[in-house]
Amino acid sequence: MSSDLADTREPLTRERVVLGAIEIADAKGLSALSMRGLAKHLGFEVMSLYNHIANKTDLIQAMVDQVASEAERPPIGVSDWYDAIRANAIAVKTALTDHPWAASIWSSTMPGPERFRLMEWQLATMATADLDEETAHHTFHAVGNHTVGYAMQSAVMPVDDDLHTLAIEVMNSLDPTEFAHTQAHIAQHIDGHHGPSFEFVLDIILAAVSQR
């Protein structure tokens, strides 16, 4: 690549590297991400990436941290703790489902600055509810586990048309004398009688906590 062409390129930064990696992972999955492929995607030589990231582990940690930064955090104390935690959990779920590769490595990736800021905000918001230490501790994990778990399940579910066809095939394969309730449950999904369960279960968790 000529120096003249190199001079016209937008300078490479850590942020550009991370966002470029997210673009690849969003489009093709995390398994498709390689340092060589990322460098080509950005229009640089692969060694140029290492001026901004230490290694692929550092890159993936930064990618997850960027996803965490997309979840809005209302100012602490402005909204009721229940409403604030609820809104933030929905925002985290949305960020994770927007980037389907992220949920599966959320818990196995060392948090970066944005993840720690998110954690601090969640714990500080719960502290405004005057929850006892044990309840606040378990509420933090219950909301987090529900959010990440739901996003993980969403990431591996077939797309709507495939899911609809598969559900019908599964329902019709079951013996109605043995699996009447299961068939009825699958039929509810097929007919769209009930929407997504994320907010329903989230409200159960938060309502139970608020009653303690």
Q: What is the pLDDT of residues 174-186, one digit of tens each?
A: 888 888 888 888 7
In the numeric block, the tokens 């159960």 are attached to 204
The C-alpha angle with vertex 104 and arms to 103 and 108, in degrees rounded to 5, equals: 105
Tell which wins on pLDDT, 82 or 3: 82
Q: What percent of the chain has pLDDT over 90?
A: 67
Residue 77 is given by DSSP the state T
Query: Could you tell me the pLDDT band of residue 191, with boundaries at 50, 70 and 90?
Result: confident
Q: What is the pLDDT of residues 91-126, one digit of tens each?
A: 999 999 999 999 999 999 999 999 999 999 999 999
Q: What is the pLDDT of residues 39-98, one digit of tens each?
A: 999 999 999 999 999 999 999 999 999 999 999 998 887 779 999 999 999 999 999 999
Across the chain, mean pLDDT equals: 89
- Return the biggest CA–CA distance within the chain: 75
Q: Are 98 and 154 in contact (CB under 8 A)?
A: no
Tokens of 188: 């509810």
Alpha-carbon distance of 166 to 160, in angstroms, equals 10
pLDDT the model gives residue 1:
45
Nearest to 202 by CA among 42, 38, 84: 84
Q: Is 176 helix (H, G, I), strand (E, B) or coil?
A: coil
Q: Are 183 and 176 in contact (CB under 8 A)?
A: yes
